[in-house]
Amino acid sequence: MEFGTVAPTFPPISEARKTAKRLEEKGYDALWFADHLMGWYPHDIWKETVFSLRYPSCHMFYDAFCEICYSAPETSRIKFGVSVTEIIRRHPVVMLQQAVTANHATEGRFILGIGAGEAENIVPYGFNFEKPVAKLEEALQLIRILLNSDVGEKINFEGKFFRLKDAVFDLKPVGEMPIWIGAHGDKMLRLTAKYADGWLPTTLPPEIYAEKAQKLEKFAREEGRNPEEIKKAIFVSVVVDEDRKEVERLLGTTILKIHALLLPSEYYEMLGYKHPFGRFYGLLDYIPTKHSREDIIRAVNEIPDKISKIAFLAGTRDEVVEELEKYEKMGVEHVVIWNLTYFGDVAKIKSSYALIDEIIKMFR
């Protein structure tokens, strides 16, 4: 398997360039950049953490495409991806121009990660979040037309959401520019089967990943595609420690249990529980600025330990390796690791990254 990880989002921006260079030297395969306007934590909870001493807000995000173009010159091998953008804030033509620019800046090492969008980056800013999957499907159709157009060719497109009249798109990628879709539901899996070069879901326990992978393969065959053409990947939030009891303690911290709150209610129901927010579609619904500190604390206190465990790939080094081997056996070729261990205890920064280095070496 290939291994990627997440890029820094907080100022100063020089950290992104340093990180890209360091991770390439360490042998990482990819660096992934979040396309966010907002983070995951209410500000009143963030300001109580030790991290707020250096970063006064968790809602500070550089533009992902700009950050990639800034970081790329320090590298020659590592791939760069957006995890993931959407076409609600970014018109498909503008987004494609940004993507091809990043493709050139990385000399063909750019992966366009795209999804239906998350409420926290859309609703508070006045964008229309209706029919996001239908909008994405039309955008993917348009992107294919733009990329396949001849130089100087006039492009006319009359869709339900996007319209082009006598337009051109003559900036083409260097080599291939793979498109990976962050898909979870059936409609998104069908789009992945039809349009994508890769599948990049997040927070899927192995048994659920296997079910969705089977659906993706079925949909791909229905589209007349070889399922092996679609690279299987997964974005995992990792909590790792040498001591299993420490892992349990970390999973019980408020800041990490918030990530369990972001799971859709169907995951709770699958284990016989109810989501603290009722019928809830996870990141499609979640907007941290809508919730007070008290709301979140109350909700977090209602989260069962079993739910916290499925929100993360959590355990000792060997336990994490065992879980990753399950994904490997399912055909997963690329794992994006987001180390959240030290969010539960800042003293775990060095030890957790050292353990992750060991884990990756075991797969080399």
DSSP state, residue 334: E
| Per-residue pLDDT tens digits for 53-62 | 999 999 999 9
Q: What values do phi and psi take at 350, rounded to 5?
A: -65, -45
Whether residue 203 is predicted with pLDDT greater than 90 in this model: the reply is no
Please report, for the chain, how many H helices and E strands are present, in that order: 15, 11
pLDDT, residue 284, reads 86
Task: Give yes or no for a contact between 361 and 34, defined as CB atoms under 8 angstroms apart.
Answer: no
Where do the domains of the chain lie? Answer: 2-238+317-363
DSSP 128-195: --SSHHHHHHHHHHHHHHHHHPPTT--EEEE-SS-EEEEE------SS---EEE---SHHHHHHHHHH
At 241, give phi and psi (nearest 5°).
-155, 160
Residue 123, both tokens: 């609703």
The string of pLDDT tens digits covering residues 7-35 is 999 999 999 999 999 999 999 999 999 99
Which residue reads 């990880």 in tokens? 5
Question: What's the CA gap between 212 and 186, in Å, rounded?
Answer: 8
Contact 122, 130 (CB under 8 A): no
Token pair 């890769």: residue: 198
Which percentage of the chain shows pLDDT scores above 90? Answer: 97
347: exposed, middle or buried (C-beta count within 10 Å: 0-12, 13-18, 19+)? Answer: exposed
**β-strand partners of 296:** none
Could you tell me the two tokens for 40? 């995951």
Give the C-alpha separation, 26 to 65, whole Å.
Answer: 23
Give the pLDDT score at 304. Answer: 93
Query: Does the pLDDT at position 97 exceed 90?
Result: yes
What CATH number is given for 2-238+317-363 in this structure?
A: 3.20.20.30
Q: Give the per-residue pLDDT at 364.
A: 86
Share of the chain above pLDDT 70, in %: 100
CA dihedral 158, 159, 160, 163 (to 10 degrees): -60
Each residue's pLDDT tens digit, 262-316 = 999 999 999 999 999 999 888 889 999 999 999 999 999 999 989 988 999 999 9
pTM over the 0.95 mark? yes
Average pLDDT, the chain: 96
